[in-house]
Amino acid sequence: MRTWRISIVVVGLVFAAGCTQEPRPPQTPEQLNGRLEAAGKIPNTAERSDAYRVIALDAADSGITDAVVKAIEGISNIGLRDEAAEACALKLMKRGDTKGATNVAEKINNTSKKSEVLGKIAKGR
């Protein structure tokens, strides 16, 4: 019985913590360029790629396609790059920037995934 209560408390805390997270404010091109410069100086390849992934997603949320493309191009891990490019392309599409979404989708290396994302952009879904 005690384990059950602890589980409920833990689930409640996790839920509450997730609900109180504030969304990141939109980033300006200057902020994103500064972050891109900092990411480029990270010596560890995996950490650098992860930083570029986060920057790409933030840039897509802010609708700044040029920064999305620069960040995507900085990701050295092809699988991570494809995942980030897909997510960013779909975010840009939802913002109504189909041209930017298409440019980002073109960065996807996996041919079938690229086709799928371009299809979603073309269909508006």
Task: Tell me the pLDDT tens digit for each residue of 32-79.
Answer: 999 999 999 999 999 999 999 999 999 999 999 999 999 999 999 999
Instruction: Say yes or no to pLDDT of 81 above 80.
Output: yes
pTM: 0.79
Distance of CA 46 to the CA centre of its chain: 16
DSSP assignment of 66-98, as one string? Answer: HHHHHHHHH---HHHHHHHHHHHHHHHHHTT-H
Residue 19's pLDDT band (boundaries 50, 70, 90)? very low
